[in-house]
């Protein structure tokens, strides 16, 4: 098959003609342009017109949907939510303002913001019976395993908000999920410690309440450090959405069959857990501890470059960012300010991380492949300074990303061109053959 482009790809009148070199048949496909980013070839009629599927493992060159929520320019390190740069949101918004923006498309007025904050606050409690679910887990269960289970279990509790064709019910489910996630996460942590669950407090803001549910006990209140609460809020903003990544695509694909929204978010949590995605923040800290000291860095760089060694520098590289991850830049600054504020003068893991970054960024292997630190490279060091255990790192990511998942899920349900997600395949297995009775098999 050969390809010729019939006009400049920036015009909506453009198209691409493909020629089948076997039959000589030409087929033309429209080029669609968005507000930002490269144009896309609309191949929805490719199979009907040519008899060919496309083959793109990992969806490297495939757009799965149209979206108005988040835009990433990976070559220039740009991340926009509803058009607003992440740097401006991290500096000027709080997490719930970003949630409102992602869900509704605009920044709220002050009345809308107060009403939204109040509504989220009123949904923070969990059904009391959910405590029984926690008790079914082993004490040493990974908190992400508990998150998958408990969030999935919400689908059995909130029957008044699961008619996905009703926009009001969808919004109630969305509020519930954003509001309850810190409670679910805080309780997962408490369960692992063997401490009693701490109930949410309506006088605290989102980040403060989350810290309270993780660190207070019935015998002693947790004194909230404003610096820690501010850092937590900023970390939540930095993780709120990231267009069609693995977990978001999982939520969309799961939801495309009309599945229960709480179950869809549980599927997203499962996808996020993997070390190639949200699990990288936990993996970074484990890796830094394993490297141990600066003298060992060259050895690990060597391992990362060895094609026969599966080791990778965790927190490095990204499918889309090929220049720098703007979230990593803010995260590094936040990391320094948190350590300063907490008067942590000597943090060996931070020194190690900075040295590893310096060496990797000067190494031809990483430069050639455009591998830069991603958002997870520094987040673990902040979490550790805040007193959060390693196994909770990806849970924090899930708390933040829930709003992105639910905003994308809502957008998918409202999209008139939405269909059940059903990729095709390149089959390379056995041809048709007949069953042989077991006694005749050699
Ligand atoms: N360390 C060493 N080499 C790497 C790394 C790394 N962290 N990341 C990519 N490479 C190399 C690959 O070996 C490959 O080399 P090759 O061309 O010689 O075969 C090349 O760079 C391209 O890598 P791919 O795996 O094809 O890139 P892909 O876009 O599929 O993967 C990913 C992106 C999964 C993020 C990858 O860079 C990675 O595994 N990084 C470490 C895990 C991590 O930090 N994940 C968090 C991502 S951000 C997030 O989810 C919030």
Between 1 and 265, residue with greater pLDDT: 265
Between 70 and 384, residue with greater pLDDT: 70
350 C-alpha to ligand 1 centroid (Å): 22
pLDDT over 90 for what percent of the chain?
82
How far, in Å, CA of 268 to CA of 263, rounded? 9
pLDDT band at 12, cuts 50/70/90? low
3 pLDDT more than 80: no
234 C-alpha to ligand 1 centroid (Å): 26
- Maximal C-alpha separation, the chain: 79
Average pLDDT over residues 261-289: 94
Tell me if residue 205 is catalytic: no
Average pLDDT over residues 218-246: 94
Residue of the nearest CA to atom 31 in ligand 1? 319
Residues facing residue 28 across a β-bridge = 17
pLDDT band at 214, cuts 50/70/90? very high
Average pLDDT over residues 282-292: 93
pLDDT of residue 8: 32
CB 217 within 8 A of CB 381: no
Helix axes 376-385, 326-341, angle to 10 degrees: 20
pLDDT in tens, 317-362: 999 998 889 999 999 888 888 888 888 877 888 889 889 999 999 9
Distances (CA, A) of 216 to 101, 196, 199, 200, 213: 31, 10, 10, 10, 6
Average pLDDT over residues 186-205: 95
Distances (CA, A) of 316 to 3, 276, 324, 329: 35, 10, 10, 13
2 pLDDT more than 80: no
361 C-alpha to ligand 1 centroid (Å): 14
Q: Which of 79, 269, 317 has most ligand 1 atoms within 8 Å of its beta carbon, as the pocket-test mutant?
A: 317
Q: What is the mean pLDDT of the chain?
A: 93
Tell me if residue 242 is catalytic: no
């Amino acid at each position: 098959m050969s390809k010729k482009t019939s006009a400049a790809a920036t015009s909506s009148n453009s198209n691409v003609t493909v020629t089948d070199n076997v039959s000589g048949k030409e087929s033309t496909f429209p080029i669609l342009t968005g507000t930002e980013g490269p144009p896309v070839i609309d191949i929805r009629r490719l199979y009907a017109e040519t008899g060919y599927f496309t083959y793109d493992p990992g969806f490297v060159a495939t757009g799965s949907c149209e979206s108005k929520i988040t835009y990433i320019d990976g070559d220039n390190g740009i991340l926009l939510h509803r058009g607003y740069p992440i740097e401006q949101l991290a500096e000027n918004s709080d997490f719930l303002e970003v949630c409102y923006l992602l869900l509704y498309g605009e920044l709220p007025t002050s009345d809308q913001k107060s009403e939204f904050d109040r509504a989220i606050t009123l949904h923070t409690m969990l059904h009391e019976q959910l405590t029984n679910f926690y008790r079914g887990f082993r004490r040493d269960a990974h908190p992400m395993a508990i998150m998958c289970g408990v969030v999935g279990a919400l689908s059995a509790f909130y029957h008044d908000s699961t008619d996905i064709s009703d926009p009001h019910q969808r919004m109630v489910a969305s509020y519930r999920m954003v509001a309850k996630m810190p409670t679910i996460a805080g309780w997962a942590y408490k369960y692992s410690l063997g401490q009693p669950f701490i109930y949410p407090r309506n006088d605290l803001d989102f980040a403060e309440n989350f810290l309270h549910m993780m660190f207070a006990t019935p015998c002693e209140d947790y004194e909230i450090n404003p610096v820690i609460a501010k850092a937590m809020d900023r970390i939540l903003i930095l993780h709120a959405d990231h267009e069609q990544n693995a977990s978001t695509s999982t939520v969309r694909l799961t939801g495309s069959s009309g599945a229960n929204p709480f179950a869809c978010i549980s599927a997203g949590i499962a996808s996020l857990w993997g070390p190639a995605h949200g699990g990288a923040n936990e993996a970074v800290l484990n890796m830094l501890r394993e490297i141990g000291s600066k003298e060992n860095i060259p050895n690990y760089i060597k391992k990362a470059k060895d094609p026969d060694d599966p080791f990778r520098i965790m927190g490095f590289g990204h499918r889309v960012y090929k220049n720098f991850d703007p979230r990593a830049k803010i995260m590094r600054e936040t990391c320094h300010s948190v350590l300063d504020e907490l008067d942590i003068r000597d943090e060996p893991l931070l020194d190690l991380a900075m040295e590893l970054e310096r060496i990797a960024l000067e190494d031809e292997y990483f430069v050639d492949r455009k591998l830069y630190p991603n958002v997870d490279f520094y987040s673990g060091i902040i979490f550790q300074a805040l007193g959060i255990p390693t196994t909770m790192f990806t849970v924090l990511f899930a708390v933040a990303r829930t709003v992105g998942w639910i905003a994308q899920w809502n957008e998918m349900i409202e999209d008139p061109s939405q269909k059940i997600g059903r990729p095709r395949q390149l089959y390379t297995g056995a041809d048709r053959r007949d069953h042989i009775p077991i006694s005749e098999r050699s």
